[in-house]
Structure 1
Amino acid sequence: MKSQIAALIMAAAAVSPAIADTLTVKSDAPKRYVVKKGDTLWDISSLYLRSPWKWRQLWQKNPQIDNPHLIYPGDILSLGLDENGNPILIIDKGVRKLSPHVRIIAEKGTAIPTLPLSVLEPYLSYDQALDKDDLAEFPIVLGSDKNFKMSITGHLLYVKGNLLQGGNYGIYRQGDAYKDGSRTLAYETVLVGTARALKSGNIEDGIPSTVKVEAVKREIKAGDFLMPLPQGQDLKATFKMSKPSQPVEGAIIASSNKHSEFGPLSVVVLNVGSEQQLVEGSVLDILRQSPTVVERNGTPKYLEDSSSLDKLIGDIGSWFGEENSEDSTVWHMPSEKVGELMLFKVYDNISYAMVMKTTQPIQVGDSVTN
């Protein structure tokens, strides 16, 4: 099997070396693969390509595919060559004879998502990154029908705001600030519960809206704010994976699990967004800065292991752009790639992304680039 795939790749390279340079199929890629429920587009892309975001190139001349991002459980993918000798994936359709039985491909249902939808759903449905001005505009909880400091499921809440009767709302609390250095980019919103509006208020006449609490994640307090929940809308499950063409320099500024280190399928927050021409589906590399070394009198040491004097020399040199002296040299080592992530929710200057691949645990502060 592997020798057949290797021959396939060599043939493609011989006919079109330019394409082979940009689209290299793995030597151990399966010649035939049956899509299963639970698969993601990233998983399948990774079976065939070391650079999963180049998936569209593998499908680009496939006349069978109306939308290369829609693949369904039961589809049978076959690796072949197009008329120019370039690697291509095709879908075997219809009835496949598998002796001694005949297998009929099931009618298509829900397309497989690009990323695990169970992980993304809370962020697509509920979580938001909002600035201070946005937060001030939302209706707030004034109190409950019972003289309790905190409310639970079944309680009625009175809300300062003209809500839509019958509408469904998420109840949120302001969370941590997302900071880029000392600059606050946005604030985390923490979902504390959901509610349905029973009566629409009229704030101009001093009449609050009334909502009934339908679900609680944590106790609801006065001052929590409400935002409408999307109704009757399908969650976005497919994304056009792509590497940005323009330079991108950013960093991971927060993680959803609040841990110091995290791995694949973790959701992180970045300090870049649409202002950097990023979109949902953008794929970025995660880089880790290698430790600085101070060489003093011919003896190299990591900066954290150096003497206070060496650290001072390094700091002063950084300030003035002169990091070397007659007996001390500061070596700034390069950054190394430690993983990849994909953006799935993009704001002006902040984004949510999922870590897809790592070679070591990812940390807040790691940089991202294309």
Structure 2
Amino acid sequence: MQHIFGRFSQISIAAALLASSAGLHAQNFPITAGQKATASQVAQTGVPLSDLAPNAPDEYTVKRGDTLWAISGMFLKTPWRWPELWGMNLDDIRNPHRIYPGQQLYLDKSGGRATLRARRPGDGDGQPGTVRVSPRTRYESLADAAIPTLSPQAIEPFLSEALIVDEAVFLTAPRIVAAQEGRVLLSRGDRAYARGLYSSKDTGKPLSTAKGEPLDYRVFRNATPLKDPTTGEILGYEAQFLGKAELVRGESTASVKGKDGKFVNEVIPATIDILVAKEEMRVGDRLVPEPPRELLSYVPRAPQLPIEGQIVSIYGSAVRYASGNQVVVINRGIRDGLERGHVMAILRSGERITDRTDSARTVIKLPNERNGLLIVFRTFEKLSYALVLEVSEGVKVGDRFENPN
């Protein structure tokens, strides 16, 4: 059987993640004609045996709780080159986006090159086997059981909560203007009132329940500027997530008769109900429409073009140094060619020291050294969120990153 591999291709082999308030669920991505063509072109490639991890197993059975990244590190010295090892065997692997618990991975080292293939348990010829089950009331679909690329618990909050906006968007976002019974703080189950349009000079728009208008909103506070560590440019604003609200009634105006007998327009704010409260809310907090659910595919890979930059902040700002499985903001985004799944090498800046062996006491800078790896999982125009996958020493604001290979 022919093994088909895509060296430096972008063949999607990762289980996909669907961000939602209920969690992340694997999705069934189609195999495109371009992916098939690339796979066919490099059918005999594989990877050099020298690229395998020292203790790479000859076979491995995928377990529940595994992640694609962990399995990649088990087989390869450079886990982001997983597509090169896995590839896409059009006969053996019906859909390379799917890796399931119980699936067996077989490492083939023949011919001085390494290839990997998968077979379902209970079938010796590589074709998908038949799984026999007894009748039962509760069941799970295999479509929901494919392993994710990364640990869902590590990034789920940042898919459903974190928000980077530009200043203009945040300043014109609808605001909470009042609460029932003069309450100061709002929590789950409370009713409040909000406005999107303040005056003819504002560029905001009134909150409306008309068809096609958003009804679900996220509530934010304190848009913190994120600056480039080197240039000082404000690249965006990170808003503090407080919870979620539902629009019950849109804002409107009513014509009322004043004391002087003249009719004036009276502003009636929109009505919202607080559905989720991570923190208590108050008057002045902003509303941003709930974004549409996205089908997110994370394929660990190095960027095709050189990209380098710096870490802007550590999410939450509660610690000075980030360690493994912590989220950082980096100063590169969509405009720079950064994509979800791009793996970058974290660098530790070399110290500047005085060369005491030189009579002139010359100041020298030691080379930058690799300190770990991060993977980009959410991109904005000028900034991105990334998960620190592995690190030797703590990562701090200002540390640099570059292509891993």
- Normalised to the residue count of structure 1, the TM-score between the two structures is 0.79
Structure 1 position 355, deviation (Å): 0.4
Give 1:216 deviation, angstroms: 1.5
1:224 to 275, 278, 285: 285
Q: C-alpha deviations, 1:250-298, integer Å up to 9, x for none? A: 01111114211121111000001122111111110000112111135x4
Question: For residue 108 of structure 2, what is the aligned residue in structure 1?
Answer: 80
1:70-125 CA deviation, whole Å, 9 max, x = no partner? 2122211111257x65312111125259xxxx995886232211111122111112
Cα deviation, residue 341, structure 1: 0.4
Note the C-alpha offset of 1:193.
1.8
Is 2:344 the counterpart of 1:281? no
Give the corresponding residue for 1:113: 148
- 174, 183, 191: which one pairs with 2:241? 191
CA contact (8 A) 2:47 2:115 kept: no
- Is 1:168 aligned to residue 184 of structure 2? no
Structure 2 residue aligned with 1:319: none
Are 1:239 and 2:298 counterparts? yes
Aligned-CA RMSD value: 2.8
Contact 1:74 1:105 (8 Å CA) reproduced: no
Contact 1:23 1:57 in 2 (8 A): no
Aligned in 2, Cα 1:252/1:244: closer, same or farther, shift over 3 Å?
same
Q: Indicate if the aligned counterparts of 1:36 and 1:73 stay in contact, CA closer than 8 A.
A: yes
Distance 2:166 2:223 in 1: 11
Q: Which residue of 2 aligns with 1:25?
A: 52
1:74 and 1:105 map into 2 onto residues whose CA distance is: 14
User: 1:164 and 1:81, CA in 2 relative to 1: closer, same or farther beyond 3 A?
Assistant: farther
What amino acid maps onto 1:225 in structure 2?
R
Q: 1:290 to 1:272 in 2, by over 3 A?
A: same
* C-alpha distance 117-221 of structure 1, shift in aligned 2 (>3 A): same
Q: Which moved more, 1:115-124 or 1:163-172?
A: 163-172
Gaps of 5+ in 1: 1-17, 300-325
Structure 2, unmatched stretches of 5+, are 1-44, 134-140, 197-205, 254-264
Matching residue of 1:355: 388
Distance across 1 between alignment mates of 2:88 and 2:131: 26
User: SS in structure 2 opposite 1:121?
Assistant: helix
Amino acid at match of 2:323: G
2:120 is aligned to 93
Which of 179, 183, 190 is the matching residue for 1:155? Answer: 190
Q: Which has more strand, going by share of residues? A: 1
Partner Cα distance (1:202, 1:188) in 2: 31
Closer, same or farther: CA 287–360 of 1 in aligned 2, 3 Å: same
Contact 1:124 1:235 (C-alpha < 8 Å) held by counterparts: no
Q: Return the offset for 1:245.
A: 2.1
Secondary structure in 1 matching 2:81: helix
Q: 1:264 to 1:205 in 2, by over 3 A?
A: same
Amino acid in structure 2 at the alignment position of 1:50: K
What is aligned with 1:265? Answer: 325
The answer to whether residue 195 in structure 2 is matched with residue 136 in structure 1 is no
Matched residue count? 321
Note the C-alpha offset of 1:365.
1.5
Q: Find 2:350's aligned residue among 290, 302, 309.
A: 290
Structure 1 SS opposite 2:71: helix
Distance 1:208 1:76 in 2: 59
Which has a greater percent of helix? 1
Query: TM-score, normalized by length of structure 2?
Result: 0.72
Of residues 78, 93, 107, the one that matches 1:51 is: 78
Q: Give the SS at the match of 2:51.
A: coil
Match in the other structure for 1:60:
87
Task: Give, as a single letter, the amino acid of the residue that structure 2 aligns with 1:75.
Answer: Q
Q: Which amino acid aligns with 1:169?
A: Y
Corresponding letter in the other structure for 1:292: R
Letter in 2 for 1:156: R
Aligned equivalents of 1:22, 1:361: Cα separation in 2 = 32
**Cα distance between partner residues in 2 of 1:163 and 1:71:** 44
In structure 2, the CA distance between the partners of 1:224 and 1:257, relative to structure 1 (3 Å rule), is: closer
Question: Which whole-Å CA distance do the structure 1 matches of 2:52 and 2:100 have between them?
Answer: 22
- Alignment check: 8 A CA contact 1:192 1:217 kept: yes
